[in-house]
Amino acid sequence: MALDLLRGWQTISDTFAARLRFGRFIDMVSAEENTYFLRAFEALGVTETRRAADPDTQPTIGFKAIMREAADTRSYAAALSVLVVAEWLYLDWASRAPQPLPNNFVHAEWITLHDNSNFREFVDFLRTELDRVGPAHADLCRDFFSRAVALELSFFEAAYAT
């Protein structure tokens, strides 16, 4: 689902340079990050059957819905408002990880995927783009951004509740 939305968001980008940047991000998510997840699931004993059977949590359902909603607006500003929250949060979290990295690749690679120069540059790109297009759509951006923040908070709170 996320890849389909990213492809859709790529098409509503308002500059060729932004489309290329989203294309490179889609490549990274569908290659490096996807491979990481498959290896991590295998290491943790999470089968494909279990992944398909386990229901999404309410925050996950909500975040999927807001991503679809942002895509359905066909507004680059709305899409950026949601994506900035998710990606900036991962960068912030990963950049605060203790050093040296954990020995377990599941943790260490997740951190490395989200704390490297390419990912930092992508988050900077997202923030710059939102700063560029957001002011003309301030109410829309504020709405999507604040709801995305609330959903991310709920996601982490749910993880600690289990």
Give the Cα separation of 92 and 38 in Å (integer): 24
Compute the distance between CA of residue 153 and CA of residue 157 in angstroms, rounded to an integer.
Answer: 6
Tell me what pLDDT residue 109 has.
96
Q: What is the dihedral of CA 98, 124, 71, 153, to 10 degrees?
A: 30
Where along the chain do its domains lie?
2-161
Is a pLDDT exceeding 70 seen at residue 128? yes
What is the model's pTM? 0.91
DSSP string, 103-155: SSHHHHHHHHHHSSHHHHHHHHHHHHHHHHHGGGGHHHHHHHHHHHHHHHHHH
**What is d(CA 89, CA 11) in angstroms, rounded to the nearest whole number?**
24
Provide the pLDDT for residue 159. 86
Give the dihedral sign, CA 149/150/151/153.
Answer: positive
Terminus-to-terminus CA distance in the chain, angstroms? 25
**Predicted pLDDT at 116:** 95
Pick the CATH number of 2-161 from 3.40.50.10470, 1.20.910.10, 1.20.1090.10, 1.10.357.10: 1.20.910.10
What is the DSSP-derived secondary structure letter of residue 102?
P
Confidence of residue 7 (pLDDT cuts 50, 70, 90): low
| pLDDT band (50, 70, 90) for residue 2 | low
pLDDT, position 106: 97
Q: Could you read off the pLDDT of 76-95 as tens digits, one per residue?
A: 999 999 999 999 999 999 99
The rounded Cα 8 to chain-centroid distance in angstroms is 14
- 19 pLDDT higher than 80: yes
Whether the pLDDT of residue 1 is over 60: the answer is no
pLDDT surpasses 80 at 52 = yes
The whole-chain average pLDDT of the chain stands at 92
Mean pLDDT of 12-35: 87
